Amino acid sequence: MSRDVHALPPSAGPRELHRVGVSGVRKPLSVQRPDRAITLATEFNVHVDLPASRKGSDLSRNAELLAEIVDATAKEPVRSFEEACLTIARELLTRHTYAREAHVEAVAEYFLTRGISTQRRSFEDYTLFAEATTWRNGTGGAPAQSWSIGAEAVGMTACPCAMETARTMLESEFPLLKDPSLQKLPIVSHNQRNRTRLAFEFHEPGEVEADAIVAAIEEAQSSPTFAILKRGDEAQVVLNAHRNPKFVEDVVRDVLAGLPARFPKLPGSTVVTVRTRSEESIHKYDVTASHRLTMAELRAPSA
Amino acid sequence: MSRDVHALPPSAGPRELHRVGVSGVRKPLSVQRPDRAITLATEFNVHVDLPASRKGSDLSRNAELLAEIVDATAKEPVRSFEEACLTIARELLTRHTYAREAHVEAVAEYFLTRGISTQRRSFEDYTLFAEATTWRNGTGGAPAQSWSIGAEAVGMTACPCAMETARTMLESEFPLLKDPSLQKLPIVSHNQRNRTRLAFEFHEPGEVEADAIVAAIEEAQSSPTFAILKRGDEAQVVLNAHRNPKFVEDVVRDVLAGLPARFPKLPGSTVVTVRTRSEESIHKYDVTASHRLTMAELRAPSA
Amino acid sequence: MSRDVHALPPSAGPRELHRVGVSGVRKPLSVQRPDRAITLATEFNVHVDLPASRKGSDLSRNAELLAEIVDATAKEPVRSFEEACLTIARELLTRHTYAREAHVEAVAEYFLTRGISTQRRSFEDYTLFAEATTWRNGTGGAPAQSWSIGAEAVGMTACPCAMETARTMLESEFPLLKDPSLQKLPIVSHNQRNRTRLAFEFHEPGEVEADAIVAAIEEAQSSPTFAILKRGDEAQVVLNAHRNPKFVEDVVRDVLAGLPARFPKLPGSTVVTVRTRSEESIHKYDVTASHRLTMAELRAPSA
Amino acid sequence: MSRDVHALPPSAGPRELHRVGVSGVRKPLSVQRPDRAITLATEFNVHVDLPASRKGSDLSRNAELLAEIVDATAKEPVRSFEEACLTIARELLTRHTYAREAHVEAVAEYFLTRGISTQRRSFEDYTLFAEATTWRNGTGGAPAQSWSIGAEAVGMTACPCAMETARTMLESEFPLLKDPSLQKLPIVSHNQRNRTRLAFEFHEPGEVEADAIVAAIEEAQSSPTFAILKRGDEAQVVLNAHRNPKFVEDVVRDVLAGLPARFPKLPGSTVVTVRTRSEESIHKYDVTASHRLTMAELRAPSA
């Protein structure tokens, strides 16, 4: 019988480690949606801390419990993406008896049926993110926990600044443009793919639907984008975007501005994170903006 | 002394193999430019064929000769990116005495100083590609060889179709738009990053400068893109692109159309490849077009 | 009513284009397996050629027919991954009446239940590839077509050469190693992740199951790899791999050597491609090998 | 003259934003090394905060100052990679008069000449990371600042646990293995690429050489890896790695254990971060470990 090498003292001397685990484990996770079960090809990162006294963490336990929990959803779908992460994080603490904290991250592609009109509906692809952390309580109670759920949606932004400058330049070339009847004519600008992420981090019970996160993002971009656009639809998306020009700063602020009405029941302790990236058509680099605050701060009357 | 395992017969029985080698070898390659030497962080793939009688290819020779040839350029820069590939391919045949064919691929990032005006000049980044193949002659002559050099440039396209449809839709909302003085007014459309590659494959002596390849691409996009754009410059790029709307099909054809005048001395046997990809702002997917033909075909009067 | 800009003559003059289409379209494709339907998150590239007379290809038709065909599988799963590609390629020729050739590529992640023993079974992830090409017949018959199906499996290789050299070096340090009873003792070597692809391209009717492709690859690596390995299993995989050391050359030849017995009914015209990449543990770069030949050539008695 | 759109109040109402800027700007940065100047193809992310009162950040200033500072190094190389970041961060605060905080991130590939012996020396590739943050002081003093420098090195780990279990299994198959003279015989295990990052974050003056960071990492892996290895060298690397087996936990702890002696002069406030990832040869997923602490904590006698 070989020694339990993991349980030996570390050769470098005692030194606790914050995170030890497995990364990039891919599994099909079945999640119950209101209308049907869907299967998300999910990538998991799963970690626990390690006490100063142990050489190694029993990593095969991570793979085993991931398999047990995730593979079981093929028969009984889990209630939500973040619920799966929480279940895994709690089980990590159960099986790694020496660990004080467990952390789970999950990313998956997510398809929703969308369309610029009912005749053009088709699948569009989004990304879902979830995390869960559990802490062992000193007092013997249930482990403390926090968790998050977020999504990324690719949409479109048109730049309000280039539009304004272009109008001024065009007005000197085409004086008729100054005619009052043309004041609302959409003017050329640069427009581009915009990737926006919105995530909610919970420290007390609360819930957000993935589809509502996608909707909150798409409403704040200059326009959502669609797989199927016939000729008139294309022009419609272009006009919508140019009537709704947005800096990355506007996208972040507009996502945030919509959240109090959209999610009135979320606890004030919920931490909201928004990050957006416009893949500028006029540059080879991207433009980005981000912010992070609590729902309570978001609801407070602004300065 | 251990056996030479590579020289053993293959355990699966005799079976020649087309390509065996090393991939993803990264090296700093110094190349002489008209004005100064530049160092390209280059990734090499280097392969030879393997006769049916040998179990393995002597791969350490690939790493060794790559090191000798590439590391030596730190002191004496090579004349061109593709010249480096050819030198490596020839040396592969010399050191792998059992090989009949050697193949080298190289990719590197390349910086050029550009600007929308002389006050706005700065580095822009491009990608260079080169390949070389050498064949051992049956008759004892020098090895036959072919080689290629290509580049990718990120620019911008504006869609001519959405522009036309948008004009029609806007004309019914803004009747004054039909005024003859506004016929040339640039109209909103979707615009986006466009990545275009142009490569030249030589089977007899010929030469193309990397900078000329970049120029041939940028001229065929709706507009090049720039790192530094002050407010008026941004609008200028937007106006240029909308006065020059392009489908991916137009980008490929316009690159091709410009080549005979731009490269009058290239041999007719030179194979030209163009590939373009527009990262559509109105879709989550890309639109692509490609074509491949000889300079002789390109120069022939079109049907 | 706006003009049909796509149907205009090209501004650069007449010039046919080999491929115009959409790339990176992501869709959930439902495929029937013997035991159940599975959903593959699939990325499609879809192209047709374009005659010299037309400015543009009607790309919204690509998105539309992709949506119709792929989205319909949510209700009625398609028979196979490559069958879906063929259906799409045929429909491309129907809707692009001016096109002579249509080409479809698809890639998807694929999960199979595997394990080193029945108690350790869990999902392992693989990659599936399929392509289909259709050509319009001059004579009015059904379009000609070819198609392919392939898979990539990540397994493990141990190097036979370093093992042999290490044995010689260890024998001089540990003379007892030369004892005849230790001749079969597995000796240390470098081992690493190996990614191998095997694809079958059909020009006449024939069929290969995805699971059989994965099995053909995994049998030719030093060992398959597994998500769940308890302590004894880990050592077992290590011993298996070191008793079965393989160069990348061996992996390709061993995959090929097994095919005639594994797929006796495939037409001789079937083109087989094998590519393998070992992510060398002793280098920062990879080692690769590849070959391509017909089933008829593979069945011929070797030289 | 068009309005300054960026200076308008935000349409969503006042709301400050933590970070607004440009990402993925690629530039050739020239850095002075003891013996010569080298050029690093560097990717920059550059951000400032935005007050609640402004609609937009003047992003063209970011591109402009990046160009001025980085392009100038072509003539006068900067003293260090992190020094370049600090200079950029300070200049961001100067030009964005409304910002209170500026943040710069930079990543670049870095080549060092290494070899298992002096005859085998060649370039090996590494990654450098640097960050800098500057804060505007309320009291009119110079801005406060922090900065970091880090590197990633790819080496090799061999697993100590599978080695122990394999020995036990082999001893029952080969009883002679238990002979005392064979107690130190290296036994087969799984080995693989290991990627380890080490970074130092400074809050008061201090300095670390990039080459010393690479050395600190490579010493803690089972073995460094090399581009050129002839047959005997390969076996030597394999033997070294198996005589020095490491869990990811060991790699992190061994990196940390070596730092007090290696960097005796670093301020105690320096924050050290180590992250390591082994791309397991026996699994399709990776194993990771990380820790973060101050030099003062690291120097304290461990519990």
> Residue D290's closest CA among D279, D278, D277?
D277
CB atoms D5 and A290 under 8 Å:
no
Q: What is the pTM of this model?
A: 0.96
With contacts defined as CB-CB under 8 Å, which chain B residues touch A174?
Answer: 181-182, 184-185
What pLDDT score does B2 carry?
77
CB D65 within 8 A of CB D4: no
With contacts defined as CB-CB under 8 Å, which chain D residues touch A64?
Answer: none
Interchain CB contact of B303 with C (< 8 Å): yes
Q: Indicate if the pLDDT at residue B1 is higher than 70.
A: no
Interchain CB contact of B296 with A (< 8 Å): no
What pLDDT score does C168 carry?
97
**For the segment C161-208, what is each residue's pLDDT rounded down to a tens digit?**
999 999 999 999 999 999 999 999 999 999 999 999 999 999 999 999
Among the partner-chain residues B67, B109, B230, the one whose CB lies closest to the CB of D227 is B67
Q: Residue A259 has which token pair?
A: 């959240």
Q: SS3 for B245?
A: coil
D13: left (phi over 0), alpha (psi -120 to 50) or beta: left
What pLDDT score does A303 carry?
47
What pLDDT score does D301 carry?
77
Secondary structure letter of residue C10 according to DSSP: P
Q: What is the mean pLDDT of chain B?
A: 95
Strand segments (E) across chain C: 17-32, 37-50, 101-114, 122-135, 144-158, 191-202, 223-224, 271-278, 286-294
ipTM (interface predicted TM): 0.94
Distance CA C220, CA D125 (A): 32
Secondary structure letter of residue D245 according to DSSP: -
What pLDDT score does D303 carry?
47
Distance CA A273, CA A199 (A): 5
CB atoms D41 and B229 under 8 Å:
no
Instruction: For residues A116-130, give the mean pLDDT.
Output: 96
Residue B302: pLDDT band with limits 50, 70, 90: low
Instruction: For residues C232-259, give the mean pLDDT.
Output: 98
What pLDDT score does B267 carry?
97
What pLDDT score does A292 carry?
98
Radius of gyration of chain D (CA): 24
What pLDDT score does D140 carry?
62
Q: Residue B31 has which token pair?
A: 């190349």
**For the segment B116-142, what is each residue's pLDDT rounded down to a tens digit?**
999 999 999 999 999 999 999 766 666
CB atoms D249 and A50 under 8 Å:
yes
HSE at residue B282, side-chain half, CA atoms within 13 A, is: 30
Instruction: For residues A185-208, give the mean pLDDT.
Output: 97
With contacts defined as CB-CB under 8 Å, which chain A residues touch C123?
Answer: 26-28, 67, 70-71
HSE at residue D35, side-chain half, CA atoms within 13 A, is: 3
Q: What is the mean pLDDT of chain C?
A: 95
**For the segment A23-68, what is each residue's pLDDT rounded down to a tens digit?**
999 999 999 988 889 999 999 999 999 999 999 999 999 999 999 9
**For the segment B146-175, what is each residue's pLDDT rounded down to a tens digit?**
999 999 999 999 999 999 999 999 999 999
Secondary structure letter of residue D78 according to DSSP: B
CB atoms A164 and D5 under 8 Å:
yes
CB atoms A169 and B125 under 8 Å:
no
Closest Cα in chain D, distance from residue C238 (Å): 6
Q: Indicate if the pLDDT at residue A160 is higher than 80.
A: yes
Work out whether strand B223-224 and strand D144-158 pair parallel, antiparallel, or are unpaired: unpaired
Distances (CA, A) of B140 to B135, B136, B137, B143, C123: 11, 8, 6, 8, 55
User: A17-21, C9-13, C266-270: lowest mean pLDDT where?
Assistant: C9-13
CB B104 within 8 A of CB B88: yes
Residue C301: pLDDT band with limits 50, 70, 90: confident
Distance CA C91, CA C70 (A): 12
CB B4 within 8 A of CB B46: no
Taking only residues 37 to 76 of chain C, the set having a beta carbon closer than 8 angstroms to any beta carbon of chain B reads: 45, 47, 50, 52, 55-57, 59, 63
With contacts defined as CB-CB under 8 Å, which chain A residues touch C154?
Answer: none
Closest Cα in chain B, distance from residue A286 (Å): 10
Residues D152/D153/D158/D159 CA torsion (nearest 10 deg): -10
Secondary structure letter of residue C183 according to DSSP: T
Closest Cα in chain A, distance from residue D214 (Å): 19
CB C135 within 8 A of CB C103: no
Closest Cα in chain B, distance from residue D226 (Å): 10
Q: Looking at this protein, which amino acid is placed at residue D12? A: A
Q: Residue B146 has which token pair?
A: 């072919």
CB A105 within 8 A of CB A149: no
Interchain CB contact of C247 with B (< 8 Å): yes
Instruction: For residues D18-37, give the mean pLDDT.
Output: 94
> Residue D38's closest CA among D126, D170, D138?
D126
What pLDDT score does B162 carry?
97
Q: Indicate if the pLDDT at residue A178 is higher than 50.
A: yes
Interchain CB contact of A277 with D (< 8 Å): yes
Distance CA A84, CA A32 (A): 11
Q: Residue C122 has which token pair?
A: 């869990």
Secondary structure letter of residue A185 according to DSSP: -
Distance CA B167, CA C2 (A): 8
| CB burial string B163-198: b at 16+ within 10 A, e below | bbbbbbbbeeebeebeeeebeebbbbbbbbbbbbbb
Instruction: For residues B243-248, give the mean pLDDT.
Output: 98
Work out whether strand C191-202 and strand C223-224 pair parallel, antiparallel, or are unpaired: unpaired
**For the segment C99-142, what is each residue's pLDDT rounded down to a tens digit?**
999 999 999 999 999 999 999 999 999 999 999 999 997 666 66
Distance CA D295, CA C268 (A): 68
**For the segment B25-40, what is each residue's pLDDT rounded down to a tens digit?**
999 999 998 888 999 9
| CB burial string C155-170: b at 16+ within 10 A, e below | bbbbbbbbbbbbbbbb
Residue C143: pLDDT band with limits 50, 70, 90: confident
CB atoms C250 and B11 under 8 Å:
yes
**For the segment D153-188, what is each residue's pLDDT rounded down to a tens digit?**
999 999 999 999 999 999 999 999 999 999 999 999
User: B70-79, C85-94, C110-119, C136-145: lowest mean pLDDT where?
Assistant: C136-145
CB A17 within 8 A of CB A48: no
Q: Which residues contact A111 (CB under 8 A, 6 or more apart)?
A: A38, A123, A124, A125, A126, C26, C27, C28, C41
Interchain CB contact of B228 with A (< 8 Å): no
Distance CA C164, CA C167 (A): 5
CB C222 within 8 A of CB C191: yes
Among the partner-chain residues A166, A236, A279, the one whose CB lies closest to the CB of B238 is A166
Q: How far is CA A297 from the centre of its chain?
A: 20
Instruction: For residues A286-301, give the mean pLDDT.
Output: 96
What pLDDT score does A33 carry?
87
CB atoms C229 and A60 under 8 Å:
yes
Q: Indicate if the pLDDT at residue D22 is higher than 90.
A: yes
Distance CA D299, CA D303 (A): 12
What pLDDT score does D36 carry?
85
CB B210 within 8 A of CB A166: no
With contacts defined as CB-CB under 8 Å, which chain B residues touch D25?
Answer: 227
Distance CA B256, CA B262 (A): 10
Interchain CB contact of C23 with A (< 8 Å): no
What pLDDT score does B303 carry?
47
What pLDDT score does C3 carry?
84
Q: Indicate if the pLDDT at residue A142 is higher than 90.
A: no
Distance CA B200, CA B271 (A): 6
Distance CA C273, CA C198 (A): 6
Task: Tell me how far apart the 2 most distant CA atoms of chain A are, in Å.
Answer: 91
